[in-house]
């Protein structure tokens, strides 16, 4: 069996090629092999989200947020999820995105969310 890093790398290549189902499968195997791997959890959530399974994405992102509370990307993804709900949960979105700014105020993610807090129109982070 491939190692976690290899599974994540394979999943990212598949994800970037638009082969989301196959990417999700690789990320799922990575999470099963290492349930606390931040990149695997975030990537699996992104694949699930892009397959229309926001509930499962949220579960993985909340696990990642608990394990990695100082990860700007975790809070970015959760904020995006809350923004994309119908209706959007702007309170939770804003709370998550304010964490991004607090964690890494000079990052591109922080600059992006600062703009989107004012006018929510974001895109998911690249995995």
> What is the spatial distance between Cα 3 and Cα 67, in angstroms, rounded to a whole number?
21
Q: Which two tokens stand for residue 53?
A: 């399974």
Say yes or no: 45 and 5 in one domain.
yes
Let me know if residue 76 belongs to a domain: yes
Binning pLDDT at 50, 70 and 90, where does residue 57 land?
A: very high
Let me know if residue 33 belongs to a domain: yes
CA distances (Å), origin 123, targets 34, 79, 103, 105, 109: 27, 11, 20, 19, 11
What are 70-118's pLDDT values in tens digits? 999 999 999 999 999 999 999 999 999 999 999 999 999 999 998 888 7
Let me know if residue 126 belongs to a domain: no
Return the closest-CA partner of residue 127 out of 55, 34, 30, 32: 30
Return the closest-CA partner of residue 45 out of 53, 57, 36, 55: 57
Which CATH number covers residue 28? 1.25.40
Range of the domain at 108: 69-120
Say yes or no: 1 and 48 in one domain.
yes
What residues contact 89, with CB distance under 8 A and at least 6 apart? Answer: 82, 83
Let me know if residue 25 belongs to a domain: yes
Let me know if residue 111 belongs to a domain: yes
Residue 39 pLDDT > 80, yes or no? yes
Q: What is the pTM of this model?
A: 0.88
Let me know if residue 63 belongs to a domain: no
**Considering its fold, how many domains does the chain have in total?**
2
Say yes or no: 3 and 46 in one domain.
yes
- Using an 8 Å Cβ cutoff, are 20 and 50 in contact? yes
Let me know if residue 49 belongs to a domain: yes
What residues contact 65, with CB distance under 8 A and at least 6 apart? Answer: 71, 74, 75, 78
Let me know if residue 104 belongs to a domain: yes
């Amino acid at each position: 069996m491939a190692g976690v890093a290899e599974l994540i790398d394979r999943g990212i290549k598949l994800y970037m090629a638009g082969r989301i189902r196959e990417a999700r499968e690789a990320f799922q195997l990575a999470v099963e092999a290492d349930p606390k791997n931040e990149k695997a959890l975030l990537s699996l959530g992104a694949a699930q989200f892009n397959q229309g399974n926001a509930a499962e994405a949220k579960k993985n992102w909340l696990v990642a947020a608990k394990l990695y509370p100082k990860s700007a990307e975790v809070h970015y993804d959760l904020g995006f999820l809350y923004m994309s709900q119908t209706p959007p949960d702007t309170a939770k979105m804003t709370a998550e995105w304010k964490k991004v700014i607090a964690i890494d105020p000079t990052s591109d993610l922080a600059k992006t969310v600062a703009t989107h807090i004012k006018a929510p129109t974001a895109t998911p982070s690249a995995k």
